[in-house]
Amino acid sequence: MIIKALLIDFDNTLVLFNEDEFLVNYAEKAYPYMADYFDQSTFFQKLLQSTVNMIRNDGSMTNVELFTNHFISGSELSYEECHNRLRKFYAESFRQLGNQVHVVPYGRKLIKRVLQKGLQVVIATNPIFPELATQIRLEWANLGDLDITMSTHAENMSYCKPRPEYYRSILDHINQKPEDCLMAGNDPISDMAASVLGIKTFLVDLDQEKGRLGILSKEIEERTKKKVVYPQYPIDGSGTLQDLERFLFGTKR
Q: How far is the CB of 104 from Mg ion (least distance, A)?
A: 11
Q: Does 12 bind Mg ion (CB under 5 A)?
A: yes
DSSP labels for 208-228? Answer: HHHHHHT---HHHHHHHHHT-
Complex with Mg ion: residue 72 or 215, whichever CB lies closer: 215
- Closest by CA position to 168, among listed 145, 187, 194: 194
The span from the CA of 57 to the CA of 17, in Å, is 26
Q: How far is the CB of 103 from Mg ion (least distance, A)?
A: 14
Q: Does 11 bind Mg ion (CB under 5 A)?
A: yes
The span from the CA of 128 to the CA of 153, in Å, is 6
Q: How far is the CB of 13 from Mg ion (least distance, A)?
A: 5
Q: How far is the CB of 204 from Mg ion (least distance, A)?
A: 8
Q: Does 180 bind Mg ion (CB under 5 A)?
A: no
- Please choose, out of 49-57, 72-80, 186-194, 219-227, the segment that lies near Mg ion by the rule CB under 5 A: 186-194
Q: How far is the CB of 140 from Mg ion (least distance, A)?
A: 14
Which of 9, 67, 143, 151 binds Mg ion (CB under 5 A)? It is 9
CA distances from 107 to 51, 113, 156, 162, 164 (A): 28, 10, 24, 23, 26
Within 8 A by CB and 6+ apart from 87, the residues are 130, 132
Q: Does 152 bind Mg ion (CB under 5 A)?
A: no
The span from the CA of 146 to the CA of 247, in Å, is 22
Site residues for Mg ion per CB under 5 A: 9, 11-12, 186-187
